[in-house]
Structure 1
Amino acid sequence: MTTIKTYKSGRRKVLKQACALLATSCTGFPAIISARDAKPTVRVLGTHVTLQEPLRQRAEKELGINLVYSPGGSAQVLFRASMDPSVFDVYEQWSNSMRVLWQSRAIQSIDPDRIDYWGEINPLSKTGRLSPGDSIGAGDAPHRLLYVQPDGSLGSQPTGEVSYLPYVHNADSLGYNPQRVPEGQPYETESWGWLLDPKHAGRVAIVNAPSIGLFDLALAARARGLMDFGDIGNMTRGEVNQLFDILMRFKAEGHFRGFWNSVPHSAKLMSRGEVDVQSMFSPGVSMVRATGTPCLYAAPKEGYRAWQGVMCLSRETRGEQEEAAYQYMNWWLSGWPGAFISKQGYYISNPERSRPLMSPTEWDYWYQGRAAAAELRGPDGSVTVQPGEERRGGSYAQRFSNIAVWNTVMPTFDLTVQRWNEFVIA
C-alpha cells in the first residue's frame, strides 16, 4: 500500500510540474497526417532543431519505414510526452527532460545491446567529460541520468539498461549582433553578463524554458556581481527567490524584449532587428546569418551552458513499432545524420563515423576549430560560414572543456516553474 501511495504522490507531482511547464509556452502543434500502409510508422515527438524534413525523408528512404515528425517548443513537447506517452514512439529532446519523463513513467528503458554503435559513443555522454582533466560542470551532466540503477532510479553507475540514447549535443551561449554590441574576445571579454547589462535594455530576449533560460540568467546575474550561488546547478529555494526578485526588477524596467519558444522564433527576433543580444541555440545563429544579418555566437568567459540530446522510447511502444524505433535510433548514429547536423553547429556522440561524410573543410571548421578553407553551407543550403572564418569557441574539445552548467531540472523545480511563469507574464 505504501508503494502505491508513493507512486500516486510522485505521479501527481510530475503531472503538476508538467501542467506548469505548459504555461511557459502557447504555440500549438501542427496537424499531423499519418500514412497508412504496410510499413511501420514511428511517431517522433521533439523540437525543431532535429525534426527537420531532410532528415525525415532520408531516414524513411534508408529504413523503409514511415516517420511522423511532431515538432514543438521544449516546454510543450515535455508536457505532451509526460502527460500522454501514447502520442509518441520516440521522444527527442534534451537531458534536462529526463527526470520528468522517468518519474512520470512516460518512457521505458533502452537496451544498449540493441544499439549498433553503442561502443563508439564517446566519453562525454558516458562520463560527463571528453578528457579526464576536463571539468564536468554543474547540474545534470549526461552520465548522471544515463543508466537505470537496480532500484529503478537514474545514475552514473553503468548497468545493462539506459534511460536514453545519447546523440546530438552542444555547448550553448548567447548570440549577439556585432553591429549593435561591440565584438568581444572569446573566453576573455564575451560574457553572460551582457544579458543583464543596462546598456542593452529593451533589446534582450531569453529562451522561454525554466530549465534552460533560468541558467542563462543565473550565469548573467553572477557575472554582473548581482548575486552568487553555492551550487548553480542545485540552487536553494532562497537562491531561486533571490534570483527572480532581481529578474523581476529588470522586467519592470522594460529590460527584456521578449521570450522565444522555438529556434525559428529566436532567429526572427534577431534578423528583424528586434533584439541585439539573446539566449540562442546554434541553429538559430545559422538561420540569422543566412538572412545576411550579422550574428556572433559568444564563447563566454564564465563557461557554456551545455546540453545532451536524448532519444527515448515511449512506455507504450511495443512490437513492430519498437523494432522500427530501434532502427531509427541506430540510423541517427550511422554517419550521415551526424554529418548533416554538424552544418548547424551540433555534434554527434560518435563523430568519427560521420567524419568520412564531411568534407575536410567542414571537419576542420566544426570539430577542430580551424579557419574555413572555403565557404560552408547550413542544412538549408545557405552560406553560413565565409572563407577564413574560425568557429567561435574553438574546437569540440575546447568548447566542452569550458562547461559551467548543464541544462538541469533541480529539486526546486516546482518553485522554479512557479517563479518563471510569474516572471514571463509580469
Structure 2
Amino acid sequence: MEDKPSNKSLLNLNRRAALKSIGKTVVGAAAIVKAPYVFAKKRTQLKVLGTHVTLQQELKRRAMDDLGLDLIYEAKGSAAVLQKASVNPQAFDLYEQWSNSIRPLWASGSIQPIDKKRLTYWDEINPLCKTGQISSEAKFGAGDAPYKILHIQKNGRLGVEHTDQLSFLPYVHNVDSFGYNTNVIAKGTPYITESWGWLLDPKYSGKVGIVNAPTIGIFDLALAAQAQGLAHFTDIGNLTKTEIDQLFKILIVLKNQNHFSGFWNSVPESVDFMRTGRVVIESMFSPAVATLNGKGIPVTYAAPKEGYRGWHGVMCLSAASKGRNKDAAYEYMNWWLSGWPGAFIAKQGYYISNPERSAKYMQKDEWDYWYQGKPAPVDLKGTDGKTSVKKGEVRTGGSYIKRFSNVAVWNSAMPTYDYSVQKWYEFISS
C-alpha cells in the first residue's frame, strides 16, 4: 500500500514551491529594473579648464544638450589656470584661455597638436589669426600676434608657415582696454582723448584697479606709463630686462603711494570692484562692462588713442587626451564654431573666428551693433537677459574691422617671460 505524504510534508513542499516561484519573480523583476542601465550608453565626461569668460553655465547647458556630453567646467583666474595646466595635463581635456598662454603651455609639453583636418569650419575662419590682419589697412600689433604662434612647424616650434597641425583652435577674441565710471570721469572721445595714461593719472589715485595677470597687466601698465611719458619702450611687445626694471620701479613707487586700489583675479571680482565704488577706472574685459551696464552702472569701455591690447581665445587639447575623450574634445571644438555659441558670446561683446555663421543666429539689430558698429535701434540684452545696450548707443571703438585695425600690442609671453612674472609678483606683494 502506497504511503500518503503527511500534512507537514505537504506544507514543506508548498513552502518550497512558493519560495522558488517568488525567487524567480524577484530575479525577473531585478533583471527588468537593471536592463536599461546595462544597455544605456555611458556619456563621455569632458573636463574643460579655463576662465569665467567662456566657462558659462548657459554655454555648458547648450553644449551638453547638443553633443550628449557631460561637461565638467573648472573656472579660475587666468594666472591660476595657466599654472595648473602647465604642470598637470591630466587635470583637463581642453584648455580655454588666451594666446599669451600658448608658448608656456607648448614649452611645458602639456598640450598636443590639433589636427586641422578634423576642424569642420577651418575654411570659414577669417584672416585675423591666419595672416595677422583683419583688413589690408590693419596694424599687426606688437607681441605675439596669433598668426605667429598658431601653426606647429616641422621642427616642432611655433611659427607662421601654415601646416596641418595647430597649437590651438582660434575661436573667441576681442580687444581689451579699460573701463571707467562716467558718473565720476567725464566721457572721453574714442581714439582721440581716451588714453591708457588715465590709469596712472594722479586724479584717480586710490581708485584704480588692475588685472592680476602677469602677461596681461604688464601691458596695460606699460601702455599707461608710456602714455604718461614716464617710460619709453623700443618694442612694447618684447620688453627687455632693463625696460622691465624701469617700468616696475615706477609702478612700485605708485603702489606705495596707494595709487592702486586693488588687483582683480576674475571677471566677477572686477565687477565688484566697480559696483561697490572701490574703483572708478580699471583694466576690464568686455563681459564685466556689459554686466555693470546691465545693473545700471554707467561704465564706458575706452577706445584708447594709443591702440588696444588685443587677445585671441585659444582652445588647446591636453597632451593626456586620447581615445573617446579626444574625439569628444574635437566635437566640442567644432561645436564652438557651429554658429549658436558665437551668437551667444557676441551679447557680451566678444567676436568669433567665423562670424558669418553666427550671424544667422543673431537678430539684425544685434549684428549691426556688435559687428558693424552701428547705433542700436532698440535696447539690446546681454547674456544675462538684462539690457546692456540702450537704444541709440554706438559700440565704443566702432566696428569689428575698425577695432581690430587698432591693436597696439597683443597679450604675449615675451622672451623675458620668466623674469617679467617674477617682477610682477614682486610688484603685487610690495
**TM-score after normalising by structure 2:** 0.90
**Aligned partner of 1:253: which letter?**
Q
Q: Distance in 2 between matches of 1:291 and 1:385?
A: 11
Aligned residue among 309, 315, 318 for 1:305? 309
Q: How far is 1:37 from its partner?
A: 7.2
Aligned residue among 240, 243, 249 for 2:244? 240
Tell me whether 1:92 sits opposite 2:129 in the alignment: no
After superposition, residues 209-358 of structure 1 pair within 5 angstroms as 209-358=213-362
Q: Distance in 2 between matches of 1:380 and 1:361?
A: 18
Q: Distance in 2 between matches of 1:133 and 1:178?
A: 32
Q: Distance in 2 between matches of 1:77 and 1:251?
A: 26
Q: Distance in 1 between matches of 2:292 and 2:53?
A: 14
Q: Closer, same or farther in 2 for the Cα pair 1:39/1:175, shift >3 Å?
A: same
For residue 391 of structure 1, give the secondary structure of its aligned residue in structure 2: coil
Q: In the alignment, which residue of structure 2 is the partner of 1:396? A: 400
Aligned residue among 52, 60, 67 for 1:63? 67
For residue 211 of structure 1, give the secondary structure of its aligned residue in structure 2: helix
**Aligned partner of 1:245: which letter?**
K
Tell me whether 1:168 sits opposite 2:140 in the alignment: no
Q: In the alignment, which residue of structure 2 is the partner of 1:78? A: 82
Q: How far is 1:154 from its partner?
A: 0.4
Q: How far is 1:413 from its partner?
A: 1.2
Q: Distance in 2 between matches of 1:140 and 1:232?
A: 11
Q: Structure 1 unaligned runs (5+)?
A: 1-35
Q: In the alignment, which residue of structure 2 is the partner of 1:143? A: 147
How many residue pairs match? The answer is 391
Q: In the alignment, which residue of structure 2 is the partner of 1:29? A: none
User: Are the aligned partners of 1:268 and 1:288 in contact in 2 as well (CA < 8 Å)?
Assistant: no
**Aligned partner of 1:184: which letter?**
G
**Aligned partner of 1:378: which letter?**
G
Tell me whether 1:112 sits opposite 2:111 in the alignment: no
Q: Distance in 1 between matches of 2:295 and 2:66?
A: 32
**Aligned partner of 1:227: which letter?**
A
Q: Closer, same or farther in 2 for the Cα pair 1:37/1:288, shift >3 Å?
A: farther
Aligned Cα RMSD in Å? 0.9
Q: In the alignment, which residue of structure 2 is the partner of 1:4? A: none
Q: Distance in 2 between matches of 1:388 and 1:292?
A: 16
Larger Rg: 2
Q: Distance in 2 between matches of 1:376 and 1:47?
A: 25
**Aligned partner of 2:123: which letter?**
G
Q: In the alignment, which residue of structure 1 is the partner of 2:186? A: 182
**Aligned partner of 1:90: which letter?**
L
Aligned residue among 408, 424, 427 for 1:423? 427
For residue 74 of structure 2, give the secondary structure of its aligned residue in structure 1: strand
Q: Distance in 2 between matches of 1:51 and 1:175?
A: 22
Q: Distance in 2 between matches of 1:325 and 1:160?
A: 18
Q: Distance in 2 between matches of 1:194 and 1:37?
A: 57
Tell me whether 1:42 sits opposite 2:65 in the alignment: no
Q: In the alignment, which residue of structure 2 is the partner of 1:5? A: none
**Aligned partner of 1:276: which letter?**
V
**Aligned partner of 1:384: which letter?**
S
Q: In the alignment, which residue of structure 2 is the partner of 1:129? A: 133
**Aligned partner of 1:159: which letter?**
T
Overall identity of the aligned pairs, in %:
59
Q: Distance in 1 between matches of 2:339 and 2:393?
A: 25
Q: Distance in 2 between matches of 1:161 and 1:404?
A: 28
The runs of at least 4 consecutive aligned structure 1 residues that moved more than 3 Å come to: none
**TM-score after normalising by structure 1:** 0.91
Q: Distance in 2 between matches of 1:80 and 1:287?
A: 28
Aligned residue among 405, 410, 417 for 2:414? 410
Q: How far is 1:351 from its partner?
A: 0.1
